[in-house]
Amino acid sequence: MPATAPVRPPEVLHLSLVLGAALRDADGTRLGRVDDLIVRLGGAGYPPITGFLATIAGRRSYVPAERVAAMAPGSVTLTKAKLDLRPFARRPDEVLLRHDVLDHQLINVEGARLVRANEVELARLDGWWRVVGVDTGARGGLRRLLPKALAGRIGTGDFVDWASLEPFSGEVPAMRLRVLHPKLARLHPAQIADLVEAASHGEGEEIMRALGSDEELEADVFEELDSRHQLEFVEERSDAEVAALLSRMAPDDAADLLAELVDERREAVIDLLPSGARRKVRALMGFDPAEAGGLMSPDFVSVYRQASVADALERVRRSRLPDEILATVWVMDARHRFLGTVALAALVRADPEAGVVDLEVQHVPHLRPDADFEEIARLMADYNLIAAAVVDDEERMIGVVTVDDVLEVLLPKGWRRRFGLLGED
Amino acid sequence: MRLQVRGRLRSRRSRVIVLLGLLGPGLIAANAGNDAGGIATYSEVGAKYGYTLLWAMVLITVSLALVQRSAARMGTVTGKGLAELIRERYGIRWSAFATLCVLVANFGICISDFVGVGAALGLAGVPAQVSVPIAAIGIWLVIVRGSYRSAERVFIWLTIPFFAYPVAAILAHPDWGEVGHALVQPQIHTSSTFLLLFVAMAGTTITPYMQLYLQSAVVERGANLDDLQNESREAVGGAIFADLIAAFIIIATGATLYVSGIHSIGSAADAAKALEPLAGQYAELLFGIGLLGASLLAAAILPIATSYVVAESLGYEKGIGRRTEEAPVFVGLITAMIVISGIVAMVPGVPVIALLIGVQVVNGLLLPINLFFVWRLARDEELMGEHRNRGPVDWVTALTVAITSTLSLILVAVTVLGL
């Protein structure tokens, strides 16, 4: 042994070696058995262990973490102070490591995947035992399959730091994720939607409930969900909540979702929409969904031919539309007839004082509302368009079909689905 | 997809799905019991004991229907697979044990189904060394590279020749009074052969992988509480349908082989004789086509179901739509299972029927372990809430577990003691 102890990295303690361990008093007398560990979530950093559930003299008891002097593989030792046993009542921000985390799925924000905790790793940091991460690899699982004597020798496998993990609260869905966790907010709405689709009913609900506090994000995620999940969550909400959600979604996605509802519910929800959204949605629902009219977004940024580049840029700046729709600015005459397009990149590069008319691309082909997928796809491919205008009988522009709308439809069946036992329906 | 569902189109789509639902996982799962091993076992039962074991079929059907219903309901309510639930409720040790049992049992069935493929094409003179590799490669390509859904439809069509059994049973003019009597009057023989066949019959009809497959399939389908009744009904309907076919196999062989003094089936050709009242000289052809279809269906579903179970309980990426690089363990296990089963099935001179029945016995032995978990989980209030199994349903499920466990233990004792 060296004379001076080197600075050692915090030692990792495997949860599986603590569960079932002997609970001893300060003299080493065995009092009972450790059943579960309680951690408090919600704060910054690694969540601290706040208490233990133990079986003492045949009774389930709660031992606060302050009463524990030492924790090691196979034994948990209490301090000298008198132990008063209390029944355990779970607080909203607490989870049980064995009951809720070990062997359960967690969200790994890194890569937006669901992982299963084969082992939970603990460490003593800042004078407190904390959860530092989970093991998702084979070693964590193997350790728990082996007899205790061998288990201690197995090291950590695929360690995932708690900083990128978000647990589910399990069977008590009302308890956690009520406030959107910053970890989830790091994900793209499409990634969150993928997670919801991959998770079980309860877990998916938990994620959606957590999104409730950020209404914009909730609407973005909803747009990305498949219709089955959309309907599932819509069924649990009141008409007013659904209307509020729909008004934040892109009108074409909102119309798609409305079309899935039963007739009475659909009318009730449409009546609750703000007038602008109601008008757009009603107009969209009048078109065949398999044609340009049903596929288009009725929102886009347009300018008159007399406008300057600065005017056009200002309109883009003020707009709250999604980026993909703003990539093209549409040029119209005073009677709203479609004349041509200007790419956003062209506007950015041009002299702000110049007129839009100098940049305008004319004779751009456009679509009728009854154009079918094939026609739309061929037009966009032939002319290298990322967006195409849809015009009515009087050549007035009524909407825009963007390339992502078309891709979604044309994607081969097998590609769309990420996994499945049954394949595509 | 989403585009076809706006407005009026939706109601039409729902109806189509209900129709397809009749050919859904409930039917496939239960009907998989009528694969190569199932046909061999039922034929042997019919040849050896005539109709006398039909009463057992009734009991087995009740058990199967309840167990399948429980699995479908668990998948619908929780949105989780059976292996996943075992892991979350009982920890990794129990789930690893259950997974190991399923792995052993499924490997056996997978081998027996490739043997079935070899035997079916053997009737047409194609040696197993030719037919099995082709079938194995074909199945691998369909699962890993192709569209499983379309292949599944082909397989279902291939099993239609099995409807020949009810027709053959009727044309063979069985003594219906005797059949009716056998259905309600339990008759027990005190011989180890009888016990063996009894366990094999339970093992092939209520196979653990059926519950695992059904529950995972229900989850994959995205069933939610609205579908609870439909899913339950489909699971029960599938069980009853599959067992009706099984009963007719016993009746058909009982009315032909048993009465003409053939009490043991040595080969596929023997088993095919049960179809002679219907097909005459084409009995072998009809039998061969049906056996081929049933074997291919099971040989394709088994590796998938097994990989699902292993992935669920060990926490690996799963899914057949994924490429090898994305889910290496999942795809690797499917590949290994097909390759090894195929190779074993090609061993020349393998005693086909004996092997098929032997596998069903192993299945019967491992059955209580999975059934126990189905029983415990389906009655769990925290998990299933108001949809948990209660009252008679719970009791009968418990009784099924008790009876299959007892039978398994007796069989082990008989085998070990050499009685």
CB-CB under 8 Å, B80 with A422: no
- What pLDDT band is residue A422 in, cutting at 50, 70 and 90? very low
How high is the pLDDT of residue A413?
Answer: 58
In a domain, B7, yes or no: no
List pLDDT tens digits, range A334-392. 888 898 899 999 999 999 888 888 888 878 888 988 888 888 999 998 888 889 999 98
The two three-digit tokens of residue A2, written as one number:
């060296």
pTM for this model (two decimals): 0.76
CB-CB under 8 Å, A409 with B3: yes
Strands, E, within A194-321: which ranges? 302-304
- What pLDDT band is residue A292 in, cutting at 50, 70 and 90? confident
What percentage of chain B's residues is helix, strand, coil (to nearest 5)? 85, 0, 15
Measuring CA to CA, how many Å separate A48 from each of A89, A122, A393, B365? 17, 9, 66, 46
Amino acid at A297: S
- A144 vs B contacts (CB less than 8 Å): 91-93
CB-CB under 8 Å, B3 with A295: yes
Helix (H), strand (E), coil (C) string for B141-186: HHHHHCCHHHHHHHHHHHCHHHHHHHHHHHHCCCCHHHHHHHHHCC
The nearest CA of chain B is from the CA of A47 a distance in Å of 22
The dihedral over CA atoms of A83, A131, A183, A212, expressed in degrees to the nearest 10, equals -30
Q: Which residue would you say has higher pLDDT here, A284 or A171?
A: A284
Nearest neighbour of A103 by CB, restricted to B4, B91, B321? B91
How high is the pLDDT of residue B60?
Answer: 92
pLDDT at A241 over 70: yes
> Cα–Cα distance between B247 and B58 in angstroms, integer?
9
Flag whether residue B51 sits within 8 Å of chain A, measured between CB atoms.
Answer: no
Contact A136, A102 (CB under 8 A): no
Dihedral class, residue B236 (left if φ above 0, else alpha if ψ from -120 to 50, else beta): alpha
- Residue A73 sits at the vertex; the CA angle it makes with A71 and A79, to the nearest 5 degrees, is 25
In a domain, B313, yes or no: yes
pLDDT at B326 over 70: no
The dihedral over CA atoms of A177, A181, A186, A187, expressed in degrees to the nearest 10, equals 10
Looking at residues A306-323, what average pLDDT do you find? 89
Q: Which of B271, B270, B278, B267 is nearest to B250 (CA)?
A: B271
List pLDDT tens digits, range B249-304. 999 898 888 888 888 887 777 888 888 877 777 888 888 888 888 888 788 878 88
Q: Which of B412, B7, B26 is nearest to B227 (CA)?
A: B26
CB-CB under 8 Å, A422 with B221: yes
In a domain, B395, yes or no: yes
In a domain, B15, yes or no: no
What domains can you pick out in chain A, each with its CATH number?
8-160 (no CATH), 177-286 (1.25.60.10), 297-409 (3.10.580.10)
List pLDDT tens digits, range B178-189. 999 999 888 888
Nearest neighbour of A419 by CB, restricted to B5, B315, B321? B321
Supply the CATH number for residue B93's domain.
Answer: 1.20.1740.10
Amino acid at B182: A
- Lowest-confidence pick of A243-252, B104-113, B212-221, B323-332: B323-332
pLDDT at B317 over 80: no
Closest-CA residue of A relative to B311 is: A116
Q: Choose from A262, A296, A422 for mutation: most chain B CBs within 10 A.
A: A422
Q: Which of B28, B38, B7 is nearest to B364 (CA)?
A: B38
Q: Look over chain B and give the mean of its residue pLDDT values, rounded to a whole number.
A: 81
**Which residues does residue A86 pair with via DSSP β-bridges, in sequence order?**
A62
Contact A312, A320 (CB under 8 A): no
In a domain, B73, yes or no: yes
List pLDDT tens digits, range A91-127. 777 888 988 888 888 888 887 888 888 889 998 888 8
In a domain, B327, yes or no: yes
- What pLDDT band is residue B54 in, cutting at 50, 70 and 90? very high
How high is the pLDDT of residue B17?
Answer: 42
Q: Which of A86, A71, A69, A80 is nearest to A34 (CA)?
A: A71
CB-CB under 8 Å, B2 with A227: yes
Q: How many other C-beta atoms are found inside a 10 Å radius of the C-beta of residue A377? A: 17
Note the Cα B414 to chain centre separation in Å: 26
CB-CB under 8 Å, B222 with A229: yes
Residues 304-363 of B with CB under 8 A from A: 304, 308, 314-315, 318-322, 327
Contact B203, B364 (CB under 8 A): yes
Closest-CA residue of B relative to A288 is: B6
- A416 vs B contacts (CB less than 8 Å): 1
- Lowest-confidence pick of A409-413, A418-422, B167-171: A418-422
Q: Look over chain A and give the mean of its residue pLDDT values, rounded to a whole number.
A: 82
Flag whether residue B206 sits within 8 Å of chain A, measured between CB atoms.
Answer: no
Q: What is the helix (H) or strand (E) element at residue B362, kind and residue range?
A: helix B352-378
**Which residues does residue A367 pair with via DSSP β-bridges, in sequence order?**
A390
The nearest CA of chain A is from the CA of B7 a distance in Å of 5
- What pLDDT band is residue B73 in, cutting at 50, 70 and 90? very high
Q: How many domains, in total, are found in chain B?
A: 1
CB-CB under 8 Å, A414 with B321: yes
Nearest neighbour of B321 by CB, restricted to A171, A227, A418? A418
Contact A141, B315 (CB under 8 A): yes
CB-CB under 8 Å, B79 with A201: yes
CB-CB under 8 Å, A256 with B79: no
- A202 vs B contacts (CB less than 8 Å): 78-79
CB-CB under 8 Å, A171 with B382: yes
| CB-defined contacts A:B, below 8 A | 117
Q: What is the helix (H) or strand (E) element at residue A161, kind and residue range?
A: strand A159-161
How high is the pLDDT of residue B71?
Answer: 93
Flag whether residue B242 sits within 8 Å of chain A, measured between CB atoms.
Answer: no
Looking at residues A6-21, what average pLDDT do you find? 74
Cα maximum dimension of chain B: 69
In a domain, B63, yes or no: yes
How high is the pLDDT of residue B158?
Answer: 67
- B216 vs A contacts (CB less than 8 Å): 421
> Cα–Cα distance between B300 and B26 in angstroms, integer?
16
> Cα–Cα distance between A332 and A340 in angstroms, integer?
7
Number of C-alpha atoms within 13 angstroms, CB side, residue A168? Answer: 27
- Lowest-confidence pick of A148-157, A333-342, A370-379, B114-123: A148-157
Q: Tokens 């590796």, residue?
A: B303
CB-CB under 8 Å, B217 with A423: no
> Cα–Cα distance between B327 and B318 in angstroms, integer?
6
Q: Which domain holds residue B221?
A: 24-417
CB-CB under 8 Å, A255 with B6: yes
How high is the pLDDT of residue A170?
Answer: 57
